[in-house]
Structure 1
Amino acid sequence: MIATAGHVDHGKSTLVKALTGAEPDRLEEERRRGLSIELGYVWTTLPEAGEVAFVDVPGHEKFLRTMLAGVGPVPAVLLVVAADDPWMPQAAEHLAALDALGVSHGVVAVTRSDLADPAPMLARAREEVARTSLRHAQVLAVSAATGAGLDELRTALAALLGRMPAQDPGTDVRIWADRAFHARGAGTVVTGTLPAGTVRVGDRLATGDGTVRVRGVQALGTQRDQVSGVARVALNVVADDKVEIERDTVLVTPDAWHFTTSVDVRVVGDGALPEHPVLHIGATSMQVRARRFDDAHARLTLDRALPLRIGDRALLRDPGTRELWGVRVLDPSPPALRRRGASARRAQVLADLDDRPSLASELERRGVAPADLLRRIGVPVPAEADEWLVGDRARRLIAERMVAVVKAYDDQHPLEPGMALPALARALRLPSPELVGRLMPQELRLEQGRVTATAPRIGLPDAIERGVAAVETDLAQEPFAAPTADRLRELGLHHKAIAVAARAGRLLDLGDGIVLLPDAASRAAAWLSEIPQPFTTSEARQRLGTSRRVALPLLAHLDRAGLTTRHADDRRSTTGHRVAGGA
């Protein structure tokens, strides 16, 4: 696909008609006035290049917006200047726009070579394009009236298209609509350039406000089942109730693009950028608010969300002076700027970025980022990647911070150490508790949903140590005569203190305020194995010399530990399992 560019009345439409045999001026007013007002498009077949579409754009200064809508999504250009005219303002303006957009694939045609010697304009055109992204463009003299040079032009255009990189038919679709109208018997029709990807009949495309269903696809005047980019397409679409299709609508693959109203960019061009320039991207234009960070970087705030990716190229235009600046999208999902000096710091960050998306670069800068967002802004992310991705530097910093936070929490809560996963995630400002487990260093351990220090505690707090020592004395002669609730309170062993001692292996906590020494289970199993089997609860209570209050939870614990077997008649038998030290 090739777009034309050049000054009004320099023969763009006439040259396109000579190349294709078709009239690109579609409107009656265009034919009456002899100039292009809206975008026109026609097509032909070029040797060794196949079918080629031409987007014919207006050259009059009043229709610069329409011109930019035509060249914005198109990767190659045919710049047309007349041999019988001087170098004109719109030719310079169009060339400046192409240079700002970074268009490097093009051919320059010096038309009307039958009316004047083309040599001076050939030299001037070469001089002008040499300073731009079109510096390698071939410059040819042609005449649409006599046909001179047309074969050479066709050959140059075919060679140009042959040098252009092939587009991926499987990539995400984004179509900037340059026309939207109602066709009798068909309904809504949208036209635009498909830069890459594939559109099929039956596809659903998103607009940011909802979705549309593609009912028909046309390319080069022919109905197709599917079309792959680069291509000029007309789509017959059926929209959801809430979706309004109009010029400037953008149609994209659903759930594949990040719609944003804030974007950080690199600005290429001289002069002071106005506070409210007009943004031209694809076939869309809108006034935006520009916040300069430095001479080369700015944040643009948009009136409505657009699907943007890293590396997108656009234009900023001062509607008063018509001055142009090129734009390279660096971050379509930038952070909020709230602190003093944030603009200067942001400029330093952006200065180190280029417009080629890199996963390593994004993670180094963002620290923690959702994989889905990175994919939507154009970063290559492996299909098997986790939901949240973490950069290497962020991983180290989070691990260090996690150790400090957990140790501080444990110090402040000695009787109940260990932070719950959600609380730790909030303390570390992590977006998901799942990340805590992934990023937890070896110094920490996760038990029952809480993170605590892995190093075992040495000893117990003094108050708890004194209480446990008293229990050990109480149970020395009668190991199953558990202390009463009053005795535990007297010793300062409330439920948190008991839990701490149990985790340290100094007490066996049977619940409901019943505690024994840690070897009570193995000793009980050994004592019970000496009485006739099976035995009743009463017989067990008598052998252990304890009360029913202690015997019931102790027997239940022995059952769970596999040291006894409970029978259907509620009697039990020991299983012969003994723990070392329990005699």
Structure 2
Amino acid sequence: MLVVATAGHVDHGKSTLVRALTGMEPDRWEQERRRGLTIDLGFAWTDLPTGETVAFVDVPGHERFVPNMLAGVGPVPAVLLVVAADEGWMPQSAEHLAALDGLGVRHGVLVVTRTDLAEPAAAVESARAALAGTSLAGLAAAPVLVSAPAGEGPAGEGLVQLRAALARLAAAVPPAETSAPVRLWVDRVFTIHGSGTVLTGTLPAGTLRVGDELALASSGRPVRVRGLQALGGSVAEISGVARVAVNLRGIDRGQVRRGDALVCPGGFQVTGLVDVRVTGDPATALPGQLQLHVGAAAVPVRVRPLGADTARLRLARPLPLHVGDRGLLRDPGRNHIAGGVRMLDVAPPEMPRRRGAAAARAALLAELDGAPDLVSELRRRRLIRRTELVTMGVPAGDMAAVAGDWLADRSWWRAQQDRLRELVEAHQREQPLDGGLPSATAARQLGLPDRALVVALATEPLTLRDGRVTTGAAALPEPLRLRTEQLLAELAGAPFQAPASDQLAALGLGAAELAAAERAGLLLRLADQVVVAPDAAVAAVAVLAELPQPFTLSQARRALSTTRRVAVPLLELLDRRGETRRLVDDRRHVVAAGDG
């Protein structure tokens, strides 16, 4: 479906032209038909000779209804720009063109009407002059001339040519991405008895299906699609670009309004702060308070200029946005369109309150063109979740995550690995008995939001053990190694006789020293202040296997020639390792020698 907005001055016959093309009345309100003045958005459609369907969003031309006009053109990819031969280019035509140019609309047809009332040459030339240098400059090359459109023939010449031009336009407009996340800007809300709340809008991309779970962007409230209509008929699904009516379950009419949006959950960044590139008036000349028009929405914003053509906008209420989205800034007091904006960053960082912060931000934004780009986003953000990129409208493709769904700029990630190694080595020099840098401390020192990132960074020569990052080169300080070896020599003749606390103290082996010796594999700690040789557990299994199975604690103690202080934690260790099994009567058996 081709969807076009019909724009132009109030007296240029837009609605009459739509009626002639479609046989439908676009002006919905009795007041509009009585006054011959389009006040609100009108809708109509027709089939072209090629079989393509074209839907028209007829927007108001009068300056008092500019907000309604902007709500209609915002989501529409093409325009039917109407100029009357007997009136020529008018101020309101310029207002419409400024809006379309600010929104970056490039496709359309220039129509000169009422050629039966005046020679069209002057109107064509004035339109060409106005279009020059705008996004719609190409329309001037092939204007379509139409007389008072009461039908084909002398009273309505040019309609066949206009239909042909619309068919060429339908072929020229790039196809929408049907798999894109849905964002339907609401331009009309009403209630049907027995059906409930119905919303209408222009679906620019994506696919809507009956039964879909969506959300209202303004509140995050989940809703379900109860029914769909397009061009007056019910459909099970529809893809953009299309005019669509959505019957919702679970919401009242008063809970949604024009300018709201139906969105795929997680498909858009619902944000109240954006950095934009400005076209039109210089950013530095913009008033501090303006109105932002995006899609069918109109939201007051506070403007902070950053550079000559960049600004930060703080929205009065959040909108669902993507990088690259276009909008308009309008001064309601002067009824003046200040210019177009393109979203450069829909999740910008807060700026520090220091001199030069705005200029630094402007310099960074100068590198961006508004096209979503993964490499650029990662270079600026360094680290971001894949899901966050999706909501921002930045395709992540099949790029591998560094951890979980975290994506990272490669050069920054390599620098973080080097930095982690430096931190670990410094920690080991300063606290050699500490067993490595705690992963939580590493995450804090590196400014990482997730400990899983530390795990991913701890590659060779780093290792992660018991929540601490260490290097393979870590070794016991020489004095501690010598004291530990002296203890092992004393245990050589009695491997299951753990030294007493005073003996350990005499050797200078406190809790930290014993823990370090155990990590180095020189001792086996059974309990606090209970240490034995590192191979004592293996030797104990060999001794216990020679006992009649099962055996008691007392039998084990005597066989190992040790005390209860050592035997109890030693047997509990063997139980945990699965080398012995404790029975209900507190006896044990060696698993290799038992039945299981």
Structure 2 length-normalised TM = 0.88
1:59 to 58, 61, 69: 61
For 1:542 and 1:236, the matched residues in 2 are separated by 83
Q: CA shift at 1:493, angstroms? A: 1.4
Partner SS for 2:189: strand
- Provide the residue aligned with 2:152 in structure 1: none
Show the 5 A alignment for 1:33-432: 33-137=35-139, 138-145=142-149, 146-208=155-217, 209=219, 210-240=221-251, 244-271=255-282, 272-321=285-334, 322-340=336-354, 341-382=356-397, 386-432=404-450
Letter of the structure 2 residue corresponding to residue 335 of structure 1: P
For 2:72 and 2:226, the matched residues in 1 are separated by 25
1:524–1:423: structure 2 CA closer, same or farther, 3 Å change rule?
same
Instruction: Check whether the contact 1:211–1:240 (CA below 8 A) recurs between aligned residues.
Output: no
With 3-12 and 474-483 compared, the bigger mean Cα shift is at: 474-483
1:65–1:522: structure 2 CA closer, same or farther, 3 Å change rule?
closer
Following superposition, which runs of at least 4 residues in structure 1 exceed 6 angstroms of deviation? 522-529, 531-544, 555-569, 571-576
Instruction: Check whether the contact 1:565–1:575 (CA below 8 A) recurs between aligned residues.
Output: no
Q: CA shift at 1:408, angstroms? A: 3.2
1:490 aligns with 2:506: yes
Instruction: Check whether the contact 2:275–2:312 (CA below 8 A) recurs between aligned residues.
Output: yes
Instruction: Check whether the contact 1:175–1:192 (CA below 8 A) recurs between aligned residues.
Output: yes
Partner SS for 1:108: strand
1:491–1:280: structure 2 CA closer, same or farther, 3 Å change rule?
same
1:508–1:48: structure 2 CA closer, same or farther, 3 Å change rule?
same
1:297–1:526: structure 2 CA closer, same or farther, 3 Å change rule?
same
Q: For each residue in 1:327-367, what CA deviation from the matched residue of structure 2 results, as whole angstroms up to 9, or x when unmatched?
A: 11111111111242322221121111122112222111111
1:505 to 521, 528, 539: 521
For 1:417 and 1:148, the matched residues in 2 are separated by 89
With 153-162 and 316-325 compared, the bigger mean Cα shift is at: 316-325
1:476–1:205: structure 2 CA closer, same or farther, 3 Å change rule?
closer
For 1:446 and 1:566, the matched residues in 2 are separated by 33
CA RMSD of aligned residues (A): 3.0
Determine what percentage of the aligned residue pairs are the same residue: 51
Q: CA shift at 1:449, angstroms? A: 2.7
Letter of the structure 1 residue corresponding to residue 147 of structure 2: S
Instruction: Check whether the contact 2:99–2:337 (CA below 8 A) recurs between aligned residues.
Output: no
Instruction: Check whether the contact 1:46–1:158 (CA below 8 A) recurs between aligned residues.
Output: yes
For 1:21 and 1:411, the matched residues in 2 are separated by 86
Letter of the structure 1 residue corresponding to residue 173 of structure 2: M
Instruction: Check whether the contact 2:197–2:253 (CA below 8 A) recurs between aligned residues.
Output: no
1:511–1:115: structure 2 CA closer, same or farther, 3 Å change rule?
same
Q: CA shift at 1:135, angstroms? A: 1.4
Q: CA shift at 1:533, angstroms? A: 7.7
Instruction: Check whether the contact 1:189–1:235 (CA below 8 A) recurs between aligned residues.
Output: yes
For 2:408 and 2:477, the matched residues in 1 are separated by 38
Letter of the structure 1 residue corresponding to residue 345 of structure 2: D
1:559–1:237: structure 2 CA closer, same or farther, 3 Å change rule?
closer
Instruction: Check whether the contact 2:188–2:201 (CA below 8 A) recurs between aligned residues.
Output: yes
Instruction: Check whether the contact 1:122–1:140 (CA below 8 A) recurs between aligned residues.
Output: no
2:458 to 415, 422, 440: 440
1:301–1:569: structure 2 CA closer, same or farther, 3 Å change rule?
closer
With 321-330 and 200-209 compared, the bigger mean Cα shift is at: 200-209
Letter of the structure 2 residue corresponding to residue 497 of structure 1: E
Partner SS for 2:175: coil
Q: For each residue in 1:445-498, what CA deviation from the matched residue of structure 2 results, as whole angstroms up to 9, or x when unmatched?
A: 0113322222131x4253x34643542454466555432112212322122211
Instruction: Check whether the contact 2:196–2:252 (CA below 8 A) recurs between aligned residues.
Output: no
Q: For each residue in 1:20-53, what CA deviation from the matched residue of structure 2 results, as whole angstroms up to 9, or x when unmatched?
A: 1222111111111111000101111111152211
1:503–1:8: structure 2 CA closer, same or farther, 3 Å change rule?
same
For 1:393 and 1:451, the matched residues in 2 are separated by 22
Instruction: Check whether the contact 1:49–1:161 (CA below 8 A) recurs between aligned residues.
Output: no
1:85–1:501: structure 2 CA closer, same or farther, 3 Å change rule?
same
For 2:192 and 2:548, the matched residues in 1 are separated by 94
Q: CA shift at 1:538, angstroms? A: 6.9
Letter of the structure 2 residue corresponding to residue 232 of structure 1: R
Letter of the structure 2 residue corresponding to residue 350 of structure 1: L
- In the alignment of these two chains, the number of paired residues is 573
For 1:216 and 1:532, the matched residues in 2 are separated by 78
Partner SS for 1:288: strand
Instruction: Check whether the contact 2:580–2:591 (CA below 8 A) recurs between aligned residues.
Output: yes
Q: CA shift at 1:243, angstroms? A: 7.4
- Provide the residue aligned with 1:460 in structure 2: 477
For 1:98 and 1:28, the matched residues in 2 are separated by 28
For 1:246 and 1:565, the matched residues in 2 are separated by 70
1:477–1:223: structure 2 CA closer, same or farther, 3 Å change rule?
closer
For 2:238 and 2:592, the matched residues in 1 are separated by 76
With 378-387 and 336-345 compared, the bigger mean Cα shift is at: 378-387
Instruction: Check whether the contact 1:290–1:300 (CA below 8 A) recurs between aligned residues.
Output: yes
Q: CA shift at 1:526, angstroms? A: 8.2
Show the 5 A alignment for 1:518-529: 518=534, 520=536
For 1:572 and 1:274, the matched residues in 2 are separated by 85
Partner SS for 1:482: coil
For 1:236 and 1:339, the matched residues in 2 are separated by 47
1:471–1:175: structure 2 CA closer, same or farther, 3 Å change rule?
same
For 2:348 and 2:367, the matched residues in 1 are separated by 15
With 304-313 and 481-490 compared, the bigger mean Cα shift is at: 481-490
